[in-house]
Amino acid sequence: MTHVTSAVLAASMLMLLGALGIAGCDSSPGPASVQPKPTPVAATQKETQVKTETALFGAGCFWGVESTFRKVPGVIATAVGYAGGKKDHPTYEDVCNDETGHAEVVQVTYDPSKVSYQKLLEAFFENHDPTTLNYQGPDHGTQYRSVIFTASEEQKRLAAAEKDKRNTSGDYVGPVVTAIDPAPTFWPAEDYHQQYFEKQGYNWSCHTGNGKKRKVAL
């Protein structure tokens, strides 16, 4: 039988623990990999042949945001990445340093015959706190800002109308601070960030609350 030295055994254990480790929203769980294309949401062959549109949202840690949108019927594929910054090909480390101006975002590819952009806006607003500037839950920094990047005048119109409706509804604890900007270049995040919660076997989000006032039962 071949004997394994203590050093080799220790190194093997460290590699195993690293592979099984679960990182938080502010941690980098592994090395960068090949930049991915949007990953289908259990898409059938028929679904992949339909005419699709894309939407781009930033609502805090992109792990939870992507997980939310992947549950919306009519969403064909998703990809997490970075947008709205001043550096080409940013890395997760670049963005986490909060120096490049990028936001963590989710690119949503959807079938407009099954889900409207309006419905995606509603999912966006209902699943994060749009009243907090540059943070969501425990995550702080401009990379976690609430932002809608619009790809057309129609998306811009719908986003502005939805923000205005919510701002005047009286439902929120403060003003809705969500930015609405023209869609810039989308830089896909490293492969290990894509569908992160699914890879870890989780079904939860980093987000806490949606900024609405609590209703008191009479």
CATH number, residue 136: 3.30.1060.10
Residue 151 token pair: 């790809």
Which amino acid appears at position 191 of this protein?
D
Task: Write down the pLDDT at residue 35.
Answer: 44
Indicate whether 96 belongs to any domain: yes
Enumerate the β-bridge partners of residue 135: 140
pLDDT at position 199, please?
Answer: 81
Which distant-in-sequence residues (6+ apart) come within 8 Å of 141 by Cβ? 96, 98, 134, 135
pLDDT at 209: 79
Question: Is residue 1 domain-resident?
Answer: no
Cα atoms in the Cβ-side hemisphere of radius 13 Å centred on 108:
31
Q: What's the start-to-end Cα distance of the chain, in Å?
A: 75
What's the confidence (pLDDT) of residue 48?
Answer: 53
pLDDT at 138: 86
Q: Which domain holds residue 127?
A: 34-200
pLDDT of residue 198: 79
62: nearest Cα among 97, 104, 108: 104
Instruction: Determine the angle formed by the axes of helices 153-167 and 117-126, rounding to 10 degrees.
Output: 40
> How confident is the model over 131-188, as pLDDT tens digits?
999 989 889 999 999 999 999 999 999 999 999 999 999 999 999 999 999 999 999 9
The reply to whether 47 falls in a domain is yes
What was the pLDDT predicted at 26?
46
Q: Is 7 domain-assigned?
A: no
Strand partners for 58: 147
Whether residue 133 lies inside any domain: the answer is yes
Total domain count, the chain: 1
Instruction: Report yes or no on 216 lying in a domain.
Output: no
Q: Is 68 helix (H, G, I), strand (E, B) or coil?
A: helix
In a domain, 125, yes or no: yes
Judge whether 170 lies within some domain.
Answer: yes
CA–CA gap between residue 122 and residue 60 (Å, rounded): 16
- Which residue positions in the chain have pLDDT lower than 50? 1-35, 43-46
Q: What is the reported pLDDT for 205?
A: 59
Distance CA 176, CA 132 (A): 8
Which residues, 6+ apart, have CB-to-CB distance to 136 below 8 Å? 59, 60, 61, 128, 129, 144, 146, 206, 207, 208
**Which positions are catalytic?**
61
pLDDT at 204: 62
Would you say 98 and 141 are in contact if contact means Cβ atoms under 8 Å apart?
A: yes
